[in-house]
Amino acid sequence: MLIPTAIAETIIDPKAHADGKRLDDAFRWLRREAPFARAQIEGFDPFWVVTKHADILAIELKNDLFHNGDRAAVLTTQEADQRVRAMMGGSPHLVRSLVQMDNPDHLNYRRLTQAWFLPQNLRSLDQRIRDIAKASIDKMADMDGRCDFARDVAFLYPLHVIMEVLGVPECDEPRMLKLTQELFGAQDPDVNRTGERIDDVAASVAMLQATVVDFMTYFNAMTEERRRNPRNDLASAIANGAVAGQPLGHLEAMSYYIIVATAGHDTTSNTTASALWAMAENPDQFRKVKENPALIPSMIDESIRWETPVRHFMRTATEDTEYSGQKVAKGDWMMLCYPSGNRDEDVFLDPFTFNVERTPNKHVSFGYGPHVCLGQHLAKMEMRIFWGEFFRRVASVELDGEPRRTEANFVCGPKKLPIRFKMH
């Protein structure tokens, strides 16, 4: 089945991801009428759209049949794909991180840092993260009861945590935040590096490449320094790491830094800001957590489901197959639509209600199977510590203006969240 053009265009429209309602309506229609169907949009190669929770899980598990790296791992236009391949010697990827890898590389590169993100090893960070969380709430307390929670708190807290783990000095954190927003928010004139809406594909690809080059310039210098003077940080593990007995290639090493330095905080920032937005709009949910902090873990899972910061990844069929009664050809591209999976009526009761007591909460925001998010335990730990401090010290919260999300169809979340609040 071919998806109606208007529906197909909605699910890839950055503005629809920013406003939410149109996107929800489009995904609701797809889950009901065409849960596994083809999109054909001018300027894009055709692709399958996967909107049901069960199908997303099944495809993620079949990582030999559906690859990450054979084609672009994020939806891209035909022209942008051609330009990237021309720049990268035929590769569809500007970076080659875990996201763009399949086995055996994916497993081998993942092992390089996996131990850093295991719950038992994260416990040593507990006190330091708690100090950073307390400092974030102290900063709020000094703001006379009003702030932009996204910009002033949610962006900065997880950034500070992951930069400490990585080994980036605090003075360079604003640079890392700016580059992250430029990378993930390239479609949004408020956060991309030009301050303008870029419709020209060549200019858009060049802008992304410039951001990647800036990241690589920074991390190349860090690599050289860590090889001379290794420390107990993630940067040293990457700089001095080996895969199959060989040092990491330049592109792979730089890409490793970039994925840690960006995904390591941006998705957590988006989830944290979105949680407060939802609770400001639903004071009963705020009150429940305030009165019973034991609800913080389930509130965190619900906020991860609610926002779904990573909106999609693409997969490519490695051979002719059949899925959901449809013939899928080798080389076919498919879009895993995580916000749709997280609103699937067959899995979630009242999926359009923010419920801090929701259990079970089998959201797909971290992915599933071999490519499940490496940093999920750190992200949850950061949020658990932050909200513990927050609810202990903040008495009430309400919106103080209109919140706004980034216009982006890959990684999306609140970019503006004005609030009024009272401290104890």
First to last CA, the chain: 57
pLDDT at 46: 98
Work out the pLDDT band at 199, boundaries 50, 70, 90. Answer: confident
Helix, strand or coil, per DSSP, at residue 352? coil
Q: With 0-12 CB in 10 A as exposed, 13-18 as middle and 19+ as buried, what is 393?
A: middle
pLDDT score of 195 more than 90: no
Closest CA to 265 of 177, 174, 169, 196: 177
Rg of the Cα atoms in the chain: 21
pLDDT at 190: 82
Query: Residue 212 corresponds to which tokens in the numbers above?
Result: 């990647």
Tell me if the bond preceding 360 is cis, omega within 30° of 0.
yes
Contact at 8 Å (CB) between 274 and 413? yes
pLDDT at 204: 85
pLDDT at 182: 86
Region 313-337 average pLDDT = 97
pLDDT score of 273 more than 90: yes
pLDDT at 187: 82
Region 130-157 average pLDDT = 96
Tell me if the bond preceding 119 is cis, omega within 30° of 0.
no
Q: What sections of 62-155 are H helices per DSSP?
A: 78-87, 105-114, 119-122, 126-141, 149
% pLDDT > 90, the chain: 89
Q: How many whole angstroms separate alpha carbon 68 and alpha carbon 73?
A: 6
pLDDT at 405: 96
% pLDDT > 70, the chain: 100
Q: How many whole angstroms separate alpha carbon 108 and alpha carbon 119?
A: 20
Closest CA to 389 of 346, 423, 348, 353: 423
pLDDT in tens, 173-193: 999 988 888 888 778 888 878
Closest CA to 258 of 225, 308, 217, 205: 217
pLDDT at 198: 76
pLDDT at 163: 94
pLDDT score of 254 more than 90: yes
Average pLDDT of the chain, as a whole number: 95
pLDDT score of 104 more than 90: yes
Q: Is 51-63+96-165+266-423 in CATH node 1.10.630.10?
A: yes
pLDDT at 185: 77
pLDDT at 48: 98
What is the phi/psi pair of residue 62, to 5°? -90, 65
pLDDT in tens, 58-82: 999 999 999 999 999 999 999 999 9
Q: How many whole angstroms separate alpha carbon 421 and alpha carbon 100?
A: 42
Q: What is the pTM of this model?
A: 0.95
Q: How many whole angstroms separate alpha carbon 132 and alpha carbon 161?
A: 7
pLDDT at 206: 86
pLDDT at 264: 84
Work out the pLDDT band at 205, boundaries 50, 70, 90. Answer: confident
The residue that leads in pLDDT, 210 or 101, is 101
pLDDT in tens, 5-63: 999 999 999 999 999 899 999 999 999 999 999 999 999 999 999 999 999 999 999 99
Region 136-147 average pLDDT = 96
pLDDT at 40: 98
DSSP E strand stretches across 296-346: 312-317, 321-323, 326-328, 333-337
Region 294-302 average pLDDT = 98
